Amino acid sequence: MTRGLYTAYTGMYNEQKRLDIISNNLANSATIGYKEEQVTSQAFKEMLTYKIRDRSNGFVDEPVGNMSLGVKIGETYTNWDQGSLRQTENTYDIAIQGKGFFTVRTTNAKGEDKTCYTRNGCFTATKDGFIVDSDGNHLQGEGGDLQVPTDAARIVIDQDGAVYADNVYVDTIKITDFEDYNYLKQYGDNFWETVDGATAVEGSYSLQQGYTEQSNVNVIDQMVDMITITRAYEAGQKMVQTQDSLLNRSVNDVGKVG
């Protein structure tokens, strides 16, 4: 019976972790460029169980069969599907349609620079003409920090990322893609960074000026999954209550027999 309590606990713990991930997806459903997280569940390794030394077989241990001890989170992964585009008509809002990431130079509290990658294409221009995100991180061009003339009357960004100020070429936005996204890890604030083994490749994309890519979270699907998880968690609670009742009877009633 204590094994039953443990099995029910693993199921409840697994559902709680799944609920945390769905809650994070829902919280970021309006975050520009956000990619939803998904999760798989897997059973613990099955173990061979034995009937230990009872009278049915001359007090000899006898194998009964395999039994799983519960369930656990198998893998948390990112859904990289394209999000829908929303028109903003803002000059420095840029959406990537296809594969690839904006390359951004971030600076931490110690003043150390780090190259990160994002699908969030909501940028603005500083008074010096640098193109930055809402936190002041610099969008990268092929020549480094992307900067446009402050006196330009019209900025145009074509589908290949070339930037023109009053019809004069300035730089090209650096879009980076990777051979295997498993070598990316979340850095925070909708950024990703590379880990050892990441291989950069040329992306297949087109840029849309005046648009932003919305998150790819399907709110309805997430809500349905949340209801399913809640019901599974409640089932686990009922299992715990049943096991507790059986233990109570074993201790307080069975001991009185005879």
Residues 258 and 242: their CA atoms lie apart, in Å, by: 25
Window from 88-92, 133-137, 211-215, 243-247 with minimum mean pLDDT: 243-247
- Amino acid type, 175: I
Q: For the range 105-112, what are the long-range contacts, defined as Cβ-Cβ under 8 Å and sequence gap of 24 or more? A: 105/137, 105/138, 105/140, 105/145, 106/135, 106/137, 106/187, 106/191, 107/137
Name the pLDDT band for 161 (thresholds 50, 70, 90). very high
Specify whether the backbone of 159 is left (phi greater than 0), alpha (psi in -120 to 50) or beta: alpha
The DSSP-derived string for 188-204 is: ETTEEEE-TT--EE---
Averaged over 34-45, what is the pLDDT? 77
Residue 133 has pLDDT above 60, yes or no: yes
DSSP-derived letter for residue 111 is S
Window from 16-25, 48-57, 186-195 with minimum mean pLDDT: 48-57
Residue 257 has pLDDT above 60, yes or no: no
CA 144, chain centre distance (Å): 29
Name the pLDDT band for 67 (thresholds 50, 70, 90). low
Who has greater pLDDT, 14 or 104? 104
Residue 172 has pLDDT above 90, yes or no: yes
Q: What's the Cα-to-Cα distance from 40 to each of 71, 72, 73, 192, 230, rounded to whole Å?
A: 11, 9, 6, 21, 17
pLDDT value, residue 68: 58
> How high does pLDDT run on average in the chain?
85
